[in-house]
Structure 1
Amino acid sequence: MKLLPNCITLSRIGLALLLLCFEPLGPAFTLVYMLCGITDMLDGPIARKTGTVTRLGAKLDSAADMTLAGTALYTLYPFLGLTLGLGLWVLVIAMIRLASILTAMCKFRTYGSIHTYGNKLAGLLLFLTPLLLPYVNLEGWTIVVCTIATLSAMEELILLLISKELQLNRKGLYMHQKRSS
């Protein structure tokens, strides 16, 4: 039972890589993609309920999230119809995320991605994107997702820059200010 949350998280990494084997947006792809979402919803609550929350689990969760996001972006890029401007915006978001990873590595000597509410919302919107492709105005949806992703990436970078210790489960910048008061 102690390893169950980490096994669920590791399965998301495997499932995300399995997406590369299927036709994007086909039935098998959609099924595996949904399984990725289910594992993402289960691992944290199971770890909290069983008292098995660990730094390793939090890091694995972040790595699984990045693997899924990267794999989904790679496989779905042709369907997203990104203009040059939106493509550059996605690149800027990725660079801010990379700056956060490098900041955590340099400052705290470890990989760290903070589980803020903003990051959770950005992750949810990114997860929903392939499922909503047939139903949304793609450019409008992309602007909303990129705006939330930019704000959450900037919030995380600011938190990493101002924090004295790495707290992976900090909920947001406001919570940091509130705790400091």
Structure 2
Amino acid sequence: MEMRRRFMKEKLLTPPNICTMLRIVGTVGLLLIRPLTLPFYLLYTFCGITDVLDGTIARATNSTSEFGARLDSISDLIFYAVMIVKFFPILLEVLPVWMWYCIGAVLVIRACSYVTAAVRYHRFASLHTILNKATGFCVFCLPYMLVQDFALRYCEITCVIAGLASTEEFLIHLLSKEYEPGRKFIWKR
């Protein structure tokens, strides 16, 4: 029993994983707050900071792990799901119909990427490519941009970047012989 507690503390309850878990808790907290309010922006910003810090801390302390990478991906998916719940009604009013078709296409490509990875590697796989990170940053900034005059243009640019990122990841999973979790680009360096 003591050895199990020690394993949990040393391997699972590392500072970067705790940071990721705080993001999950913060994300769930966002469900309770009205969007585009000061409390929402404060908690939302906290979630964004923890998203940046977990990987930075893991690399700086040489405590990266498969569990941490999966937890981060799961945290990202939970965050996106909550953002869909909170912002879908707002975006429904703001975005034209054609933009929804573009978003749908991006989501289909992303789903194909996940299914391809599941079939080829027998696991959930979400790569942290440069384009995926750019997409994450753009999507994260969306609530701040929705109150700006250029909100529609910003959504268009975000959709293009997300489409490129989804296509790149899909092609990586489709063309790679094995799962490469550290892959940053479609081309190998």
Instruction: Give the alignment's TM-score, normalised by structure 1.
Output: 0.91
Unaligned runs of 5+ in 2: 1-9
Q: Tell me which moved more, 1-10 or 31-40.
A: 1-10
Q: Which of residues 1, 12, 28 is equivalent to 2:23?
A: 12
Q: Over residues 51-97 of structure 1, what are the superposed CA-to-partner deviations in whole Å (9 max), with x where a residue is unaligned?
A: 11111211111111122122112201222212221112212211211
Q: Which residue number in structure 1 is paired with residue 50 of structure 2?
A: 39
Residues in 2 aligned to 1:55 and 1:136: alpha-carbon distance in whole angstroms: 42
Q: Which residue number in structure 2 is paired with residue 62 of structure 1?
A: 73
Aligned-CA RMSD value = 1.4
Q: Which of residues 105, 110, 120 is equivalent to 1:107?
A: 120
Alignment of 1:57-136 (within 5 A): 57-80=68-91, 81-136=94-149
Residues in 2 aligned to 1:30 and 1:138: alpha-carbon distance in whole angstroms: 17
Letter in 1 for 2:119: C
Letter in 1 for 2:19: I
Residues in 1 aligned to 2:65 and 2:77: alpha-carbon distance in whole angstroms: 19
Q: Over residues 4-41 of structure 1, what are the superposed CA-to-partner deviations in whole Å (9 max), with x where a residue is unaligned?
A: 11111122122112111000111111111001101011
Residues in 2 aligned to 1:60 and 1:139: alpha-carbon distance in whole angstroms: 32
Residues in 1 aligned to 2:149 and 2:139: alpha-carbon distance in whole angstroms: 13
Residues in 1 aligned to 2:59 and 2:114: alpha-carbon distance in whole angstroms: 25
Q: Which residue number in structure 2 is paired with residue 150 of structure 1?
A: 163
Q: Tell me which moved more, 52-61 or 114-123.
A: 52-61
SS of equivalent to 2:148: coil
Instruction: Give the alignment's TM-score, normalised by structure 2.
Output: 0.88
How far is the alpha carbon of 1:136 from its aligned partner?
4.0
Structure possessing the higher radius of gyration over alpha carbons: 2
Unaligned runs of 5+ in 1: none
Count of aligned pairs: 176
Contact 2:145 2:151 in 1 (8 A): no
